[in-house]
Amino acid sequence: MTIVKRLLVAAVGALALAAPALAAGGDQHHPEEHTWSFEGPFGTFDRAAVRRGFQVYQNVCAACHSMKLLSIRNLGEKNGPFRVMPDPEHEGEVIEYTNPNDNPYLRAIAANYIIVDGPDSAGEMFERTGRPSDRFPSPFANEQQARASNGGAYPPDFSVIVKARHQGPEYIRSLLLGYGHEVPHDVHVAPGQYYNPYFPGGKLAMPPQLREGIVDYEGDIEATPEQMAHDVVAFLSWASDPKMEERKQLGLMVMIYLFIFAILMWFAYRAVWANVEH
């Protein structure tokens, strides 16, 4: 390539990357491309995939990763995965549960959790079963306890994890599926660490998670590692940006409105300036 061309390519590349600056260099692999239902200006979340992903989160990831900023009720809010569900009595129809607190699916999910509440009128803390309005309980009492159970590493909170990584969905999917590569001889993997070329630095404290059949999916979708990775990332993407669909829908109206407004302003401008040389 000529110098000019290389400069141009670099300039364009750098501008595109300037803000979300590059992750660590070395031999880190680029996240693998993947197609998501929520991509593009009209993309939406695949509710069924998000629900399956929630199952993976609950059964696997929640043992280590908290999701502090979300409440159970969020699952049943507008555009949430459990808001519109198949009607159990009428095949092919759906029911919309407009009040997340009365949503039977969420009440069932909440009932799995024991929440420490209080103090009561006697000043004592007490335990009760969860309610949809509760936050998702964290697996560890504090960061120190989490580190102590994970060989010194801290499993990050999941509330905004997809927005907190460059190319979030692709990166997390690649990371989850990125175990089992041959370890290069210049990399030393200590006990309690795992080689994963998608992770900055190549070594992380999280063991491989998605073994074939670790969760039981309803219906005939098979819980292969690829399927689970796809689903859990769909769930985490929803959790990080639950207003995405609302944002894109409103955006379309705003863009159309502004576009028409711009055309009208253009004609107004032409009309006002019609007889004026400038």
Partner 1 sequence: MSGPSTYKPSTGFERWLDQRLPIVRLGWDSFVDFPTPRNLNYWYTFGGILAVCLMTQIITGIVLAMHYVPHVDHAFASVERIMRDVNYGWLIRYIHANGASMFFLAVYLHIVRGLYYGSYKSPREILWILGVVIYLLMMAAAFMGYVLPWGQMSFWGAMVITNLIGSLPIIGGPITELLWGGFTVGNPTLNRFFSLHYLIPFLIAGAVILHIWALHVPGNGNPTGISVKSSRDTLPFHPYYTVKDGFAIVVFMLVFAFFVFYWPNALGHADNYIEANPLATPAHIVPEWYLLPFYAILRAVPDKLMGVLLMFGSIGILFILPWLDTSKVRSMRYRPMAKWFFIFFVVSALILGICGAMNPDDPSPFFGMSYLWVARIFTAYYFAYFLVILPLLGFIEKPKPRPASIEEAVLGPRAHAAPAAAE
Judged by the rule CB under 6 A, the positions of this chain that interact with ligand HEC are 56, 60-61, 63-65, 150, 153, 155-156, 161, 165, 172, 175-176, 204-207, 209-210, 232
Q: Among all chains, which residue has been given the structure tokens 């607190």?
A: 101
Angle 210-175-145 from CA coordinates, rounded to 5°: 75
Smallest gap from residue 21 Cβ to ligand HEC (A): 15
Residue 278 is a binding residue for partner 1 (CB under 8 A): yes
- List 115's β-bridge partners, or say none: 128
What is the rounded CA–CA span in Å between residue 32 and residue 36? 12
- List 204's β-bridge partners, or say none: 194
DSSP for 243-274, please give it: THHHHHHHHHHHHHHHHHHHHHHHHHHHHHTT
What sign has the CA pseudo-torsion 224, 212, 69, 101?
Answer: positive
Say how many C-beta atoms besides its own lie within 10 A of residue 146's C-beta: 20
237 binds, among ligand HEC, partner 1, none (CB under 5 to 8 A by kind): none
Report the Cα 101 to chain-centroid distance in Å. 23
Q: Among all chains, which residue has been given the structure tokens 């073994």?
A: 211
66 binds, among partner 1, ligand HEC, none (CB under 5 to 8 A by kind): none
The amino acid that residue 129 corresponds to is T
Site for partner 1 in 195-254 (CB under 8 A): 200, 240, 242-243, 246-248, 250-252, 254
Structure tokens at 158: 């999941």
Smallest gap from residue 234 Cβ to ligand HEC (A): 11
Report the residue number, 21 or 125, with the smaller CB distance to partner 1: 21
127 binds, among ligand HEC, partner 1, none (CB under 5 to 8 A by kind): none
- List 75's β-bridge partners, or say none: none
Residue 276 is a binding residue for partner 1 (CB under 8 A): yes
Residue 255 is a binding residue for partner 1 (CB under 8 A): yes
Structure tokens at 278: 């400038």
176 binds, among ligand HEC, partner 1, none (CB under 5 to 8 A by kind): ligand HEC
Smallest gap from residue 247 Cβ to partner 1 (A): 6
Smallest gap from residue 133 Cβ to partner 1 (A): 12
258 binds, among ligand HEC, partner 1, none (CB under 5 to 8 A by kind): partner 1
Q: What is the pattern of x (binds partner 1, CB under 8 A) and - over residues 4-23? A: --xx-xxx--xx-xxxxxxx
Structure tokens at 61: 């990831």
Residue 126 is a binding residue for partner 1 (CB under 8 A): no
Q: Among all chains, which residue has been given the structure tokens 């009128």?
A: 121
Q: Among all chains, which residue has been given the structure tokens 């750098």?
A: 14
Binding site for partner 1 (CB under 8 A): 3, 6-7, 9-11, 14-15, 17-25, 41, 68-70, 74, 156-157, 159-160, 163-166, 168, 200, 240, 242-243, 246-248, 250-252, 254-255, 258-259, 261-262, 265-266, 268-269, 272-273, 275-278
